[in-house]
Amino acid sequence: MELLKEKIKQEGIAVNEHILKVDSFINHQIEPGLMQEIGKNIADHFRDRGITKIAAIESSGIAPALMTSVALDVPLIILKKQPSKILNQDLYQTVVTSFTKETNYELTLSKKYISAEDHVLIVDDFLANGEAATAALRLLRMSHATIAGLAVLIEKSFQPGHDKLVSQGVEVYALAQITEMAENFILFKE
């Protein structure tokens, strides 16, 4: 998506070869017009695939996922991060390891909002190691829902997430793919 790539070129900050800061329009402040276009773009790609729900991973996935859900006119479910490991019969739960943040957390979803009849599109901001997306997949599959795909705004293609998801049979749709980064340098896949 050219609009997103241009924005990344203008305002994205490559801190080093691993981390891209996009606080001014995705992670800390959100630009609504851009987010709306992102939602429409993702919706257009996945339209007519029988999607019944959009799933967002808390918290930065919520904005683009909401815009996608508006464009497709289907509900948005939020996969919530919780520190607790207390088992709860009303929830699907799974543990996620974040390599970037070096933490473990529990991803949860109430059984009330998902069923085997659902066909779900997962939307998130970044695809890096793919741990969060893989956990989202695991969680949704506990309900026997089917997965339409994973849409991400920014894929860091030099990290293993993309291949990890594709090898599990998931279509990955990335609006901007970065193949290489260094301090103040970002290379996009054409």
Binning the chain into helix, strand and coil, the percentages to the nearest 5 are 35, 35, 30
The residues that bridge with 154 in the sheet, in sequence order, are 126, 176
Q: Does 129 bind ligand G4P (CB under 6 A)?
A: yes
Q: Does 132 bind ligand G4P (CB under 6 A)?
A: yes
Could you give the CA distance from residue 158 to residue 177 in angstroms, rounded to a whole number? 9
String of contacts with ligand G4P for each residue 31-70, x by CB under 6 A: --------------------------x-xxx---------
Q: Which range touches ligand G4P (CB under 6 A), out of 14-22, 47-55, 69-77, 106-114? A: 14-22
Rg of the chain over Cα atoms, rounded to whole angstroms, equals 16
Among the listed residues 27, 82, 93, 146, the single contact to ligand G4P using CB under 6 A: 27
Give the alpha-carbon dihedral of 41, 128, 97, 105, to 10 degrees.
Answer: -40
Q: C-beta of 150: minimal distance to ligand G4P in Å?
A: 10
CB of 35 to ligand G4P, least distance (A): 14
Q: Where along the sequence are the contacts to ligand G4P (CB under 6 A)?
A: 19-22, 27, 57, 59-61, 98-101, 125-132, 156, 161
